[in-house]
Amino acid sequence: MATVIGIASITLLLLGIIYYYVIVKWIFSDTSQSSGYDAWMLVVGIQAGIIFLIGPSIAANSITQEKEQQTWEMLIFTRLRPSEIIFGKLISRLSTFAIMLALFFPIEFFSWIKAPGHISGTMFFLTYLTMVVCAVFYASFGLFMSWMLKRTIYAIMCSYTFVVGGLIITTSLVSVLLSMIVTELPVEKSPFIWINPIVMMYRAINPRETANSIQLLMFGLVIYVVLTAIVLWRMIDGFRRFAYDR
């Protein structure tokens, strides 16, 4: 309990410092529209960084921890349906992201009001949509790794390997390699770069930066949604067999 209170106190302190310097010292003291845009970019970058760093591991111990603490058998013998168990664990872990988005929303809203010429409604919507879809997908994949593996540490390692090593690094390298082989295919239009989370976030906050930027972003978001549905369906469909075999 003391640990939880300590973490909550530190989080509130850091959040208070961010609110004070961004809203009071930055947005209100500077009358230019660029200050609102800069503040908005800073807060979006912080939220995206938290999602990329915490997302893969936030649900990676959901099931492995149950098995390590020998409480898994009690859970599967309850009257809860497999879908209720899976979605319950996923939603409980996603509540962390929901709280984060809610806490930072006032800053982004003030920034939007301060810089209407720099921040459009489309940018605001696409940014939040991208963060939500990425958060759900990463948490779902972490839950799937926790479902497939027996140890929490292995689930966390595989989750980070997939997100950082696969979605961020590998997609970038493959896209660059393809652009060198196929000169008519620029890096930004490579199918592999569609699912790169950093590129997706960049396209969300700069929807007019390149041609078809919104369309390419939507392709990536649709792929994330489809993969999320497949992962959740796989866990629910094979619940009983995996529950008793592991």
Domain ranges of the chain: 33-245
Q: In residues, how long is the chain?
A: 246
pTM of the shown model = 0.84
Residue 137: pLDDT above 90?
yes
- Burial of 33: CB neighbours in 10 Å, binned 0-12, 13-18, 19+: middle
pLDDT of residue 27: 59
Looking at residue 4, its pLDDT comes to 43
Least confident of 18-22, 139-143, 184-188, 203-207: 18-22
pLDDT score at 104: 82
By percentage, how much of the chain surpasses pLDDT 70? 82
Reduce the DSSP state of residue 186 to 3 states and report it. coil
| Cα angle 6, 90, 236; round to 5 | 155
For residue 2, pLDDT beyond 70? no
Place of tokens 């310097």: 21
Per the model's pLDDT, the better-predicted residue between 13 and 8 turns out to be 13
The per-residue pLDDT for 1 is: 46
Report the phi/psi class of residue 87: left, alpha or beta, with left for phi > 0 and alpha for psi in -120 to 50.
alpha
pLDDT value, residue 211 = 58
Provide the pLDDT for residue 53: 83
Averaged confidence pLDDT in the chain: 81
**Closest of 14, 39, 16 to residue 27, by C-alpha:** 39
